[in-house]
């Protein structure tokens, strides 16, 4: 991930690195210094390199003090021409600076003309005309009308849009440019962004806001049902809760997979990994206790996937969560899962066979 970008003699000096201790220093996209990964990386590091300024050769030294959790970086850049030393730049960077930075895409090599490239260009033009959104929305409406009814299909699409709107709001919270919402028949929805994220907290926040908005909508529909006794709102509360609950399964590329992966990748101790494992086991036990067999099975599979992915956490381009961020993310995730399960369980006790269907699905 990009740790630092400063001006050096009128050109860009960029530092990239990982939690494993690997660091690479580029001056105008030319590699000038590199540190290999280490089993026990130090918080202090030194990059010594030479640059040419006209006919003059300068000896340069970049000193770093780097802490990953919580993230803190202090640096100083010194130049020497053999006669005198000059402090060219110094400063500090925090997680907020990493979160706000914009990573400029590297120039790509031109590709040869191919049918695949032409098709890709056509798809981009198709998207730019917003025709794809309209077709997907119409396809979703037709699909859900065929499965249920036109009234329920419209209401379900509104639920999906509300879920994706939660993702969009989260993206805008970090200043990311958004492409909008795409409805995909029989699958759900998709919120896209033009910008890339820089931290695990951004990944967690954006991923969980969709299901969290879904939980708020299910609770609102449940409240309206209790006040009006209109079963349409009860059905929406139950099925919307089921859809958002499956979205929180710890399986990529679902929202839950992104959330638990970000938590697991940010843990750099055995104790932290054990806590994540115990939390997952507790979720599986509670699922079986409330007869949500399918949910428990999928949670177990997803948790195993997270454990395997944990070993690769040091090569990520995203800034990891600190201890506070890990705790908040885990509590928010399990609270949202618990709230959605509670909505499904409460409606299953009503005696209505249709409202009990989501509970039967989880218990199958």
**Mean of pLDDT values over 151-166:** 84
Does residue 220 have a pLDDT over 70? yes
Give the pLDDT band (50/70/90) at residue 210. very high
CATH architecture of 2-100: Beta Barrel (2.40)
Query: What is the domain partition of the chain in residue ranges?
Result: 2-100, 197-363
Angle, CA 89 vertex, CA 87 and CA 93 arms, to 5°: 140
Does residue 307 have a pLDDT over 70? no
Does residue 133 have a pLDDT over 90? no
| Residue 346 phi, psi (nearest 5) | -60, -45
- Return the pLDDT at 146: 79
Helix/strand/coil (H/E/C) assignment for every residue in the chain: CEEEEEEECCEEEEEEECCCCCEEEEECCEEEEEECCCCCCCCEEEEEEEEEECCEEEEEEEEEEEECCCCEEEEEEEEECCCCEEEEEEEEEEHHHHHHCCCCCCCCCCCCCCHHHHHHHHHHHHHHCCHHHHHHHHHHHHHHHHHCCHHHHHHHHHHHHHHHHHHHHHHHHCCCCEEEEEEECCCEEEEEECCCCCEHHHHHHHHHHHHHHHHHHHHHHHHHHHHHCCHHHHHHHHHHHHHHHHHCCCCCCCHHHHHHHHHHHHCCCHHHHHHHHHHHHHHHHHHHHCCCHHHHHHHHHHHHHHHHHHCCHHHCCCECCCHHHHHHHHHHHHHHHHHHHHHHHHHHCCCCCCCCHHHHHHHC
What is the average pLDDT value for the chain, to the nearest integer? 78
Nearest to 345 by CA among 242, 210, 236: 242
Distance CA 236, CA 241 (A): 8
User: Does the reported pTM lie above 0.85?
Assistant: no
Distance CA 205, CA 227 (A): 32
**Mean of pLDDT values over 91-107:** 76
Report whether 333 contacts 256 (CB < 8 A): yes
């Amino acid at each position: 991930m990009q740790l630092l970008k400063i001006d050096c003699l009128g050109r860009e000096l960029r530092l990239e690195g990982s939690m494993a201790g690997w660091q690479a220093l580029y001056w105008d996209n030319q590699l000038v210094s590199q540190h290999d990964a280490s089993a026990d990386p130090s918080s202090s590091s030194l990059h010594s390199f030479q640059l040419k300024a006209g006919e003059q050769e300068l000896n340069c030294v970049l000193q770093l003090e780097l802490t990953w959790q919580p993230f803190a970086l202090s640096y100083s850049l010194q130049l020497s021409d053999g006669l005198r030393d000059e402090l060219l730049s110094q400063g500090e960077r925090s997680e907020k600076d990493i979160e706000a930075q914009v990573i400029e895409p590297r120039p790509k090599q031109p590709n040869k003309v191919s049918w695949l490239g032409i098709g890709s260009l056509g798809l981009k033009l198709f998207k730019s005309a917003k025709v794809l959104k309209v077709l997907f929305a119409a396809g979703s409406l037709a699909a859900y009308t065929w499965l249920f009814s036109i009234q329920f299909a419209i209401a379900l699409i509104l639920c999906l849009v509300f879920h994706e709107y939660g993702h969009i709001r989260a993206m805008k919270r970090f200043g990311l440019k958004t492409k909008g919402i795409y409805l995909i028949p029989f699958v759900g929805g998709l919120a896209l962004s033009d910008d890339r994220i820089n931290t695990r907290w951004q990944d967690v926040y954006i991923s969980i806001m969709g299901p969290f908005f879904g939980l708020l909508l299910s609770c609102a529909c449940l409240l309206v049902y209790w006040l009006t006794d209109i079963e349409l709102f009860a059905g929406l509360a139950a099925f919307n809760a089921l859809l958002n609950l499956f979205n929180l399964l710890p399986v990529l590329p679902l929202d839950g997979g992104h959330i638990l992966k970000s938590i697991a990748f940010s843990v750099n101790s055995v104790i932290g990994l054990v806590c994540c494992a115990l939390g997952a086991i507790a979720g599986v036990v509670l699922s079986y206790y409330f007869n949500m067999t399918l949910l428990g099975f999928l949670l177990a599979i997803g948790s195993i996937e997270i454990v395997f992915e944990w070993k690769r956490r040091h090569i990520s381009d995203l800034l990891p969560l600190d201890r506070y961020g890990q705790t908040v993310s885990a509590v928010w995730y399990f609270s949202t899962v618990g709230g959605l399960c509670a909505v499904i369980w409460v409606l299953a006790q009503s005696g209505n066979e249709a409202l009990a269907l989501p509970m039967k699905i989880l218990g199958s």
